[in-house]
Amino acid sequence: MNPKTSSDAALTADVIVIGAGAVGSMMAWQLAQQGAKVLLCEAGPTIDRGQAVQHFYASAVKGPNAPYPSQPYAPHPMDAHDHMVQAGPAVFGGSYLRAVGGTTWHWTGFATRFRPNDFKTQSLYGVGQDWPLAYEDLMEHYTFIEREWGTAGDNAFDQGGPRHGVPFPLPPVPMAYADQVIAKAIAPVGYTMGPFSHARNSVPFDDRPPCCGSASCVPICPVGAKYDAAVHVAKAQAQGVQLLAESLIEHIEVGPDQLIRSVRIRRSNGERVVARAKLYVLAAHAIETPNLLLRSTQEHAPQGVANRSDAVGRYLMGQVDLDTRGLTREPLFTYRGPTTTAGIQELRDGDFRKQHAAVGTSFLNRGWRTGLGPMQRSAQLIKKGLRGQALTDALAQECARELAINSSVETLPQAHNRVVPDPSLKDSSGMPRPRVAFTIDDYSMQAIEKARQRHAHITTALGCTDVVTDEPSIATAIIAGTARMGTDARQSVVDPWCRSHDHANLFIVGTANFPTMPINAPTLTAVALGLRALPHMANDLSTGRFNRIH
């Protein structure tokens, strides 16, 4: 690509939001409702659902980004090594998406609150870092987002996040038949199952249909029953937000007064344009956020933007996974329903966290491999000599008994687990590739051993054969911690309201803010943190604190 100089005048707005994912889209929508002029910039393209489904059908891999080909002007990981540079010792297989709607296109759709204890693990358990806020500070935002998403849930199961009498907006997504069979089998060995809450329609809501049960939520819902942030991008546009898709932010400029002066944008056709605002919101996920901040070195930010603390890119967290597959004695009839509908309740929180990480165990309704299981199984059966009706019968019988167990364990914030721009390797857009260094600590590995024991109990209780357990891995869309919040500007990047300690007109939002990454899904909490910042932004605009567009 040969960038061209744009003849356009500089774009201006009250607020520039960088990243049109779950957090950025809802913040842009809310700011516009309050009368702000908002420019919403997204590096990736707009997704056409029908085309994305066709990409998924055609893919031989069926990975989480199979429906969403990486674009040369805004690449994202298609596997663990093609975009991120793995500095080791562990491979950090983080999966995220650059597109309008962001990573919510391929998320599970879990809409779970964090637990009150998750915000104070250092005080309670002596590990991690206490958050500079409490569960109660996010409750009203949790409730608002759940209504907007159309969250479906069983009021008897809050997954540890107290609702204080506020019901879920939609009826629960039913537990799969497989969950019921599993729950009955594992109860005698001390495990209890509970349904998850979903940002997924159980009944028609917001002009979107109910779940069709395709079991392909990861990587794509074919009908739009699962919420994705493109919903609120459209609502933001209806309120007057200007969407600039296929527009990569190359550089953030800092003035001598330490205020952000502008951002430099490169469009997919190679044109460059400068955009200026009073306030800036960086909502680019926990890998691209530090990559952008750190590559924006300059006279007034020699260590990178927002990085006087040297904390940008540090304290990277994910979740370590353990996966087991087996064939059950009794049919489960998988390959139907949402990807996951229920999980084991034990070891998600408690005093055991003083010794080892929390463990979240669930069962995958997609069978052994999303979209590939029956094909791979038929190939195996053909090799055994089966043909015709015998092959058909064996395939149906074995696919119905596929058990897939996943346990994920939390990781602790460690300064040496970090993301930096690679000093020499560039991506297809010409930007430094994100270089990721990650070590799995003993705290997590002890929890993996607990998960391994649990998997053995489950497969034994279900009379499984053909049991295979993979090696622990980090292959997750849960990525957090590279611009963490705190009250001490020497050790954190943003304050408790997501405002940069270094640059008063810059807000950095998303999972990058998290001081810790517990076992519950992060998206609801990430959006809640962003919405909690809005009154401070509104006050800045109404009082004229940054009235001059630099």
Pairing state between β 247-254 and 260-267: antiparallel
Phi, psi of 376 (to 5 degrees): -65, -40
Average pLDDT over residues 363-371: 85
Average pLDDT over residues 280-309: 98
- Mean pLDDT, the chain, rounded, equals 95
* Token couple for 248: 């990569």
Higher pLDDT, residue 140 or 378: 140
The counts of H helices and E strands in the chain are 11, 17
Identify the pLDDT of residue 9: 59
pLDDT tens-digit profile of 486-513?
999 999 999 999 999 999 999 999 999 9
Residue 264, CA atoms < 13 Å, CB-side half-sphere:
17
Give the CA radius of gyration of the chain.
23
Q: Please report which helix (H) or strand (E) contains residue 28, including its range.
A: helix 22-33
Identify the pLDDT of residue 380: 84
Decide: pTM greater than 0.85: yes
Give the C-alpha separation, 362 to 345, whole Å.
9
Cβ distance 229 to 25 under 8 Å? yes
Greatest pairwise CA separation for the chain in angstroms = 77
Cβ distance 408 to 450 under 8 Å? no
* Token couple for 177: 């038949």
Average pLDDT over residues 249-275: 97
Which SS3 state, helix, strand or coil, does residue 453 take?
helix
Phi, psi of 50 (to 5 degrees): -60, -45
- Who contacts 518 (Cβ-Cβ below 8 Å, separation ≥6)? 114, 115, 118, 121, 349, 358, 410
Give the C-alpha separation, 341 to 173, whole Å.
7
pLDDT of residue 31 exceeding 50: yes
What's the pLDDT band for 3 if we cut at 50, 70, 90? Answer: very low
Phi, psi of 265 (to 5 degrees): -110, 135
Give the C-alpha separation, 526 to 212, whole Å.
28
pLDDT tens-digit profile of 131-153?
999 999 999 999 999 999 999 99
The percentage of the chain sitting over the pLDDT mark of 90, rounded to a whole number, equals: 89
pLDDT tens-digit profile of 43-85?
999 999 999 999 998 988 888 899 999 999 999 999 999 999 9
In 3D space, the residue among 452, 453, 459 whose CA is nearest the CA of residue 328 turns out to be: 459
Give the C-alpha separation, 2 to 7, whole Å.
16
Residue 529, CA atoms < 13 Å, CB-side half-sphere:
34
Task: Characterise 35 by phi-psi region: left (phi > 0), alpha (psi -120 to 50), beta (else).
Answer: left
Identify the pLDDT of residue 7: 42
Give the C-alpha separation, 533 to 511, whole Å.
14
Pairing state between β 85-89 and 432-438: parallel
Angle made by CA atoms 232, 485, 549, in degrees to the nearest 5: 60
Give the C-alpha separation, 231 to 242, whole Å.
15
Lowest-pLDDT range, 211-215, 367-371, 400-404, 483-487?
367-371
Cβ distance 101 to 229 under 8 Å? yes
Spell out the CATH class of 4-367+401-543: alpha beta
* Token couple for 403: 């058990």
**Locate tokens 């009955």: which residue?**
184
* Token couple for 217: 């939520």
Average pLDDT over residues 2-31: 84
- Who contacts 335 (Cβ-Cβ below 8 Å, separation ≥6)? 215, 365, 366, 367, 373, 374, 399, 402
What's the pLDDT band for 315 if we cut at 50, 70, 90? Answer: very high
Give the C-alpha separation, 148 to 150, whole Å.
6
Which SS3 state, helix, strand or coil, does residue 178 take?
helix
Residue 311 CA to its chain's centroid (Å): 21
Residue 496's alpha-carbon distances to 40, 108, 140, 290, 515, in angstroms, are 23, 28, 16, 18, 11
pLDDT of residue 234 exceeding 90: yes
Residue 151's alpha-carbon distances to 144, 225, 440, in angstroms, are 10, 11, 33
89 prior amide bond cis, ω within 30: yes
**Locate tokens 């991506």: which residue?**
427
Angle between helices 523-543 and 22-33 (to 10 degrees): 30
pLDDT tens-digit profile of 289-300?
999 999 999 999
Phi, psi of 86 (to 5 degrees): -85, 110
Give the C-alpha separation, 500 to 300, whole Å.
15
pLDDT of residue 272 exceeding 70: yes
